[in-house]
Structure 1
Amino acid sequence: MLKVGTNRKWSIIWPTLRNLNRPKSLLKRRPSRRHLSRRRKFREREVKAEAKQPARKNGAKAAPAAAEAPAAAVRTGRKIYSSKERAQKLGQIEKSIGSGETLKSAARQAGISEQTYYQWKKAATPPSDGGDLKDLLALEDENKRLKGLLAERLRKENAELKKKLGLA
């Protein structure tokens, strides 16, 4: 097997033999890692230089960078809310929704995400005990009993009509 660079003749021919079936766009050499890191450092320096504002002519001090940046762009760490704060925020969101605002905008205004709102709402509702199931079963039994009474009355009425018509 031939090694690239061992023989001048083959080192010149080798790239041509290797790239015969490749499109021209792939034949361009990629820059080395070292060159890329230099390029990256240069770009970072340019960005830093652009971020610095020129000194003012009259000697006035520039406003601090924190005041210029919008508050929404600054990302803070997670905040743990107490149950009282959660209830307060849920109430605030409910009021906003009641006044015709969308849930998304109301939650953003309260400073929480929609998902957090749904999780808090789910946690705030009291867990249902087995009473709901008992009530459902009682309603089904009553429904069955009433259907039976209705069927019995309809049979009696049907029998009376047949007697009056003389069909029975």
Structure 2
Amino acid sequence: MAEENNVQPEPQGAETQPKKVRTKTAVRQKKTAAPAKAVPSSSTEDVSLPKIRRYSVDQRAEKLTVINKLLSAGKTTLKDALKQVGITEQTYYNWKKAAEPVSKTEPVSKSDDLKDLVELEEENKRLRKVLADRLRAENAELRKRLGMD
């Protein structure tokens, strides 16, 4: 009965609830529980994500020509020109790379290839003859020096 005498009075309006004892299993269950879903609040609704835009090939070409005109005039820098057009630097370089032709040299016709091949074969024959003549002359000179002839 001594314990009953030492009880402190409860504040008004407070309900009596038994204290919960946290055990190790309760802690583990709490850690592994799925996170609660975030409820959208009015503060997050104000933040707007940038809109993803898709441009057609014609629109891309038009924007690239506008940028080239601005740069060739020398009045603006690349970053300023890109801001005026409304695209990022990475987008600009991706578009520029895609707009370049695959090979900068014009395709050679088959007749030109054949002519080049014939010319190379003729030059090869001529060089072989020159080499053979030099080797014969050098061989003859060495034989004279050694007294073989």
TM-score range, shorter chain: 0.3 to 0.5
The structure in which a higher percent of residues are helix is 1
- Is the radius of gyration larger for structure 1 or structure 2? 2
* Greater relative CO, 1 or 2 (CA 8 Å, sep 6+): 2
